[in-house]
Amino acid sequence: MPDAAQPAGTRFWGGLERRIRKEWLAVTLALAALTMALSYFSSALGLARLDHAFYDKALAASAYAAADTDIVIVAIDDGSIDHFGYWPWRRQLHAQLLGVLHQARVVGLDLVLSDVNPAYPQDDALLAQAIRRHGKVVLPLVVQADGRRAVGPVATLAESAAALGYINIQADGDGIIRSLALRQILGDGRSAEHFVAAMLSLDHGDSAAMASIQAKGQDRLLIPYVGVPGHFTIYSYAAVLGGRIPPLAFKDKYVLVGSWGSGLGDAFPTPLSRQGEAMSGVEILSNALLAARRDNWILSPPRWLAAALACLPVLLACVALRRLSPRQSFLAVMGVLLLSFASCWLLMRYGRIWVPLTASLIGIGLALPVWSWRSQEASLQHIDRELLALQAERQGSGDAATPPATQPDGSLPARIAQLHGAIAQLRMAHRKRDETLRFLSHDMRAPQTSILALTQLQQEPGKALPQKELLERIDAYAGRTLGLVDGFVQLARAEAAPLSRRRVDLVELVAQCIDEFWAQARHRSIDIQFIRHPEAAWTMGDLSLLRRACCNLLDNALKYSADHTLVTCSIDRDSDDWLLAIRDQGRGMQAEQQATLFQPFSRIAQDGSGNPQGAGLGLAFVATVAMRHEGSITVESREGLGSAFHLRLPASA
């Protein structure tokens, strides 16, 4: 139970803050769990394609040209095919090529030589002899699709090669080559090295690179492509064998020999491919060789760590949403999104680390709408409870004027309208409190102070008033006090008391009010004229309140009318309403005075000479009665030309 002594506003905001804090914690934990699940199971959920798209963009934005003259490609291009004839060529040509490349550090023949050429069986011996003579030639293996065994070159060539390595490169689900593994365990338990690792194993000067390769084991490593196709130094096979490229161009170089021709089918899409442009397999191997030499592979954390890292931007967005306004929250979420992209690029560019981004983007994208939903729902539900409590309190106090705190429409605009209604009630309560304080401190106190002053004055022999004058003054002050109390009580009753509705004839009601003020008007020679258009004007309302409202209007007309003038009363039908008009020929009023005429304690020129006494509650009472009867009260007046008050009330059948 809340502390009864605690201010209502403090209880409200304290309870709302606790509710919002719980909602924020629940939203944060839910979004973090969702983000981790999306990241961990991204492949099964199909999010890997989006991650691949982001990876390709990040790699393209972070790739930079890093010239490495130690890697050279001898390409079997279209010009070479035109020169030597259709593919495959005689292996005698490859033997001659190895003779030209005798000064190369390592030569990798990216050529599948698994079958014997029956037309030229002696060529295998010539090529094997050239391979042995060079001493550092790597030949390829092809791992079968089931991964159980690897198919190598013919036995003569395999025995002559310095090393063997598989050349398989596995594409991702979208067909793009992004990674490779430097080691693979075959079905018979044997370990096979990749072609790139085999080349480096023959160069004893790259022992550090070999140690790194051994440490990475069977992990798939993302290839840090350094540029678009054609980035490496490339020589045509025909140009090299024809002597147009000097042998010194290959001294101490890593030389890869492979197909480059458009019809050989050894080309694959890569993250840097543009408009369908593919990269030859030998150039993909060159990029992998460069990455292995420099040990700058792009690494990706384990799935569990990637899932944990994906939660960080989501948590940052949730922390920002906790204390920011809706506009600031939107800007904060946009900022976190941009920060996520920037962090991804920086890690790729300078740290060579790739953290999948899609799960984080989904979590960040959901943070704002989910938090807005839950925070608004929590706030509105808390407001609903406070409105119900307010309704119960006001019903318990007998305030029948309070509108219902609940509505069948649960939409946000309807609930905001409820809130506005509650705020209006609070403002009205504050205004009533201020009016009551003013009434007690000024209007009620003034005549009582005057009575005390008279009694004190009467105690001084030299200043005492005659008894008759003393009693007249006390009587006047007491009568003024009773008048103030009566007006204030009547206004409070009009605002809060339940209405006793019944059929009322306004024609008869006005006639009775005129009879009540007939003597007062006759005394001042004021003629009250009643223009009876209808025989009866029925409405549903509280007879006593309507009677007093009509009397207040007549009393106000007589007070502010000069002697020997005319006050006119009339009742007319206006659509579904009755329009009761009371016109006088008094002093009238200015437009700015009319604006506050129906407010409590509002009086026109109350300090002016000849101004009637009063507390300014009569017209406020009339306005309250009209409002509670679903009617209205208006005034038309010009200074010096009198005033006309129009009381509009719904007509009854």
pLDDT in tens, 594-642: 666 777 666 565 444 555 555 567 788 888 888 888 889 888 888 888 8
**Range 56-60 average pLDDT:** 88
Each residue's pLDDT tens digit, 578-591: 999 999 988 888 77
Give CA–CA dist 242/136, Å, rounded: 23
Indicate whether 237 pLDDT > 60.
yes
CB atoms within 10 A of CB 353: 15
pLDDT at 44: 87
Give CA–CA dist 464/73, Å, rounded: 129
- 131, two tokens: 């391979």
Question: Residue 581, SS3?
Answer: strand
State how far the alpha carbon of 475 is from the alpha carbons of 235, 488, 617, in Å: 125, 20, 22
State how far the alpha carbon of 106 is from the alpha carbons of 41, 199, 464, in Å: 42, 6, 133
CB atoms within 10 A of CB 347: 18
Higher pLDDT, 126 or 378: 126
Indicate whether 403 pLDDT > 60.
no
111-115, 211-215, 252-256 — most confident range: 252-256
Indicate whether 405 pLDDT > 50.
no
Length of the chain in terms of residues written: 653
Q: pLDDT grade, residue 204 (50/70/90)?
A: low
**Range 394-423 average pLDDT:** 60
Indicate whether 101 pLDDT > 90.
yes
pLDDT, the chain, mean: 82
80-84, 234-238, 602-606, 615-619 — most confident range: 234-238
Question: Residue 183, SS3?
Answer: strand
pLDDT at 468: 76
Higher pLDDT, 309 or 69: 309
Give CA–CA dist 419/271, Å, rounded: 56
Q: pLDDT grade, residue 164 (50/70/90)?
A: very high
- 16, two tokens: 């709302």
Higher pLDDT, 351 or 412: 351
Indicate whether 253 pLDDT > 70.
yes
Q: pLDDT grade, residue 187 (50/70/90)?
A: confident
Q: pLDDT grade, residue 66 (50/70/90)?
A: low
Q: pLDDT grade, residue 278 (50/70/90)?
A: confident
Indicate whether 401 pLDDT > 60.
no
pLDDT at 562: 87
Give CA–CA dist 648/573, Å, rounded: 10
CB 148 within 8 A of CB 187: yes
Q: pLDDT grade, residue 267 (50/70/90)?
A: confident
State how far the alpha carbon of 589 is from the alpha carbons of 617, 622, 642, 644, in Å: 18, 18, 8, 11
Please state the three-class secondary structure of 235-281 as a single string. Answer: EEHHHHHCCCCCHHHHCCCEEEEEECCCCCCCEECCCCCCCCCCEEH
Q: pTM for the complete prediction?
A: 0.62
Location of structure tokens 């991204």: 42
Question: Residue 150, SS3?
Answer: strand
**Range 328-339 average pLDDT:** 92
CB atoms within 10 A of CB 260: 25
Q: pLDDT grade, residue 103 (50/70/90)?
A: very high
Give CA–CA dist 647/640, Å, rounded: 22
pLDDT at 432: 67
Higher pLDDT, 94 or 497: 94
**Range 388-411 average pLDDT:** 58
Give CA–CA dist 52/59, Å, rounded: 10
Question: Residue 643, SS3?
Answer: strand
**Range 95-117 average pLDDT:** 90
CB atoms within 10 A of CB 338: 10
Give CA–CA dist 47/353, Å, rounded: 19
Higher pLDDT, 572 or 482: 572
The residues, ordered by sequence, that sit 6+ positions from 582 with a Cβ below 8 Å of its Cβ are 553, 554, 557, 567, 568, 569, 644, 645, 647
Indicate whether 420 pLDDT > 50.
yes
pLDDT at 641: 85
Give CA–CA dist 535/438, Å, rounded: 45
CB 87 within 8 A of CB 261: yes
Each residue's pLDDT tens digit, 540-580: 988 888 888 898 889 888 888 889 899 999 999 888 899 99
Q: pLDDT grade, residue 331 (50/70/90)?
A: very high
Q: pLDDT grade, residue 461 (50/70/90)?
A: confident
Give CA–CA dist 557/562, Å, rounded: 10
Give CA–CA dist 153/98, Å, rounded: 17
pLDDT at 619: 81
pLDDT at 211: 67
CB 584 within 8 A of CB 557: yes
pLDDT at 1: 42
Cβ burial 435-460 (10 Å sphere, 16+ → b, else e):
beeebeeebbeebeebeeebeeeeee
Whether omega for the bond prior to residue 88 falls within 30 degrees of 0, making it cis, is yes
- 475, two tokens: 């009587």
**Range 122-126 average pLDDT:** 90
Q: pLDDT grade, residue 484 (50/70/90)?
A: low
259-263: list long-range contacts, CB under 8 Å, 24+ apart. Answer: 259/75, 259/76, 259/87, 259/110, 259/111, 260/73, 260/75, 260/76, 260/77, 260/78, 260/234, 261/76, 261/77, 261/78, 261/80, 261/81, 261/87, 262/78, 263/78, 263/81
179-188, 199-208, 395-404 — most confident range: 179-188
Strands 137-143 and 163-166: parallel
